[in-house]
A and B are shown apart, each in its own frame.
Chain A
Amino acid sequence: MSWLSTTDHKRIGILYMAASLGFFCIGSALAALIRIQLARPDQHLIDPHLYNQIFTMHGTLMIFFVVAPFGLGLANYLVPLQIGAPDMAFPRLNAFSVWIFILGGLTVCSGLFAAGGAAASGWTAYAPLSELPVGAGAGQDLWIAGLLMTSISSVVTAINLLVTILLYRAPGMTMWRMPIFTWEMAATSLLILMAFPPLMTTLAILLVDRHLGGHFFDANAGGNPILYQHLFWFFGHPEVYVMILPYFGVITEIVSTFSRKPVFGYVGLVISAFAIAGLSMGVWAHHMFTTGEVSNPFFAGVSFLIAVPTGIKFFNWIGTMWKGSIELTTPMLFAIGFMLNFLLGGITGVMVASPPIDFQAQDSYFVVSHFHYVLVGGSLFAIVGAVFFWFPKFSGFRLSERLGTWCFGLLFVGFNATFLPMYEMGFEGMPRRVDTYANVGHLAVLNLIASGGAAIMGAGLVLFAIALVLAFVKRVPAGDNPWDASTLEWATTSPPPEHNFTELPPIRSEHPLWDAR
């Protein structure tokens, strides 16, 4: 019962992360259904309308209720500890945000049991698919309501994080001494503040169209469905960076710790985070090249520019590892896996930022593979790496390194077997969101490989769950700083006391614990 009334940022962070992992289980089960359906050509195991609901709910859960909120949960737990604060700036507001997030997720999931089924208009809910009469049914309304709730949660958490970072730093913890993860969360919070209000407005307008006789997005009555796309992607593309910036921070912390070196190019990493955040606000319509209603040169140019600060991050990670005393622990393996996968996702992102290529790849499996390389090969690898890295701090117990290595191997092989063939499927013209396909070209064998890869990934995730359960069964003490890391959260006990710190070391640089040795 004490969890229901907690205002402790660490417990709230754990609630966020646990809820995200719960929604991840549902989203993964839906992904498994998709891969079972597509394993063979001309297969009709799942009804087409149900298939639409499955990929809609899979995308919605993974984007709005797993990848983004897990980063916010991690930040809830870590940011006050990393800056030497006793709690978040507004603890009650923090508790409110986690509960409205959970209620939002449950609301969206309840659509699976609604008459007429869940939302079936894709995670983007484009008008007119989400408008009446095409998108009739309670499932779409529950989708809109749930997303409104989680948007409120995200904005409240962003305000809380920004105020905490700006005002609650410990003596000596100047902003230019903050860990990179905290900096990335500051940039992420700014992005949320700028990007989520347009989403909430869009959802509200959609409700007006559906229930109050509005015609904002109804072309037949003088409305403009392209306006929906503008408003949605003004949120949607920055959201991609809300889902990746926290994990850039995670990777930086892990790479520095296991290279036994301070971060290379600290200032460059901070500036690149804000450059990515800023530029990401100006690229929304690269998702709309083929509409013919947007300035393709402008959006292509700004999209290309994002590769520059992202490249700076890669160089800084390589510079941090260069001549370091590298330890290939499980978190470090996941960090290296993240870099390899994200590199491929990033490069294909530059490809589809070019309108001539995008016109060919639009709505094909090439795009599906691209964003899964960013969000699964990138963010999900960082999430699992983060759990292996900070679990000793959360619980006081160690996770099995042996299981962790196997988990990484299965996830890395399974992930690439699943999504690398999808680039080729896209080249061969397989459209996304189709419930079946003809046996032409290499599509049958490519889809079979992808489904096999998904099964291997599933085995890796089961191993991850087993590692978590075994840690609580075996209860091997971790100690306060098992990785000999440099940032403040490792200066307190594992798990930390409710007030976080009994004493703080002097803070004279961005790696106070290494200074104190």
Chain B
Amino acid sequence: MKTGLKIFLNSAGFGIVIAAVYWLVARHPAGTVLLGLMAVGMLFIAGYMLVAERHANLAGDDKSPSFEASAGTDLGIFTGATAWPLIAAVGVFAVIIGAIWSLLFAALGGLTLLYACYRLARESARL
């Protein structure tokens, strides 16, 4: 987790530096805002990792795990086959196409998307 955190912090640091240099050299507001937002985005993820995941004990971070010690542990649950992701994609398709040509089509797409999300949430809850 420390390595992951370093990646996001370094990316944010790079974003702040390059945004500052760009502003000093170019005085261009739009580009500076874009670079600055990049830094803010990276800082947000780093902040989340720092606050929410600081006590995470990931198996992948253990350099020399004992496989005997973890024998018999639960490997988790595999997600079963489901058509709802496909239906959700059709819903997004209809929303975007409908937004251009037919608001009724967009509304139908939105309803399809909402129902697909509901079904996906129910599937997750059942697991």
Binding site for B on A (CB under 8 A): 2, 4-7, 83, 86-87, 91-96, 99-100, 103-104, 107, 141, 144-145, 148-149, 152, 166-176, 186, 190, 193-194, 198, 207, 211, 227, 230-231, 234, 274, 278, 281-282, 284-285, 294-295, 297-298, 302, 498-499, 506, 508
Contacts and interface: CB of A to CB of B under 8 A. Distances in A.
Nearest to A91: B79
Contact of A149 (B15, B62, B88, B96): B96
A274 B38 contact: no
A7 B60 contact: no
B82 A2 contact: no
Given A96-B88, A282-B35, A6 B14 contact: no
Interface string B72-110: 000110111111111011101100110111000000000
Interface residues of B, number: 56
Contacts of A93: 85
Nearest to A102: B89
Contacts of B84: 92
B86 A295 contact: no
A372 B59 CA distance: 43
A171 B85 contact: no
Among B22, B30, B80, B97: residue with most chain A CB under 10 A: B97
20 contacts: A4-B86, A5-B86, A86-B78, A92-B82, A92-B84, A92-B85, A92-B124, A99-B85, A99-B90, A103-B92, A141-B101, A169-B60, A171-B62, A171-B67, A175-B3, A190-B11, A198-B34, A211-B100, A230-B30, A282-B35
Given A141-B100, A171-B59, A172-B64, A95 B25 contact: no
Say what secondary structure dominates the interface of chain B: helix
Contacts of B88: 96, 99
B98 to A, nearest CB: 10
Contact of A175 (B4, B75, B96, B120): B4
B90 to A, nearest CB: 7
Contact of A294 (B28, B42, B96): B28
A285 B31 contact: yes
Given A167-B58, A176-B3, A230-B31, 12 more contacts: A83-B60, A100-B89, A107-B93, A169-B60, A172-B65, A186-B7, A274-B7, A278-B15, A295-B22, A295-B26, A297-B25, A499-B75
B111 interface: no
Contacts of B14: 278
B70 A171 contact: yes
A92 B64 CA distance: 32
Contact of B28 (A5, A87, A104, A295): A295
B70 A274 contact: no
Nearest to B1: A166
A234 B63 contact: no
B41 A274 contact: no
B92 A100 contact: yes
Contacts of A6: 81
A149 B92 contact: yes
Contacts of B67: 171, 506
A141 B61 CA distance: 47
A274 B97 CA distance: 37
Contacts of A100: 89, 92-93
A149 B90 CA distance: 10
Contacts of A227: 30
Contacts of B120: 92
Contact of B92 (A86, A152, A175, A176): A152
Among B4, B21, B89: residue with most chain A CB under 10 A: B89
B89 A4 contact: no
B18 interface: yes
Interface in B1-35: 1, 3-4, 7, 10-11, 14-15, 18, 21-22, 25-26, 28, 30-31, 34-35
A190 B8 CA distance: 9
Contacts of A207: 99-100
Contacts of B10: 274
A282 B32 CA distance: 10
Shortest Cβ-Cβ A-B pairs, 5 listed:
A169-B60, A99-B89, A95-B85, A171-B65, A295-B26
Contacts of B56: 167
A448 B86 CA distance: 46
A278 B11 contact: yes
A286 B40 CA distance: 24
A194 B41 contact: yes
A103 B76 CA distance: 32
Contact of B25 (A2, A145, A193, A295): A295
B61 A174 contact: yes
Contacts of B63: 172, 174
B81 A2 contact: yes
B80 A7 contact: yes
A462 B14 CA distance: 45
A230 B89 CA distance: 30
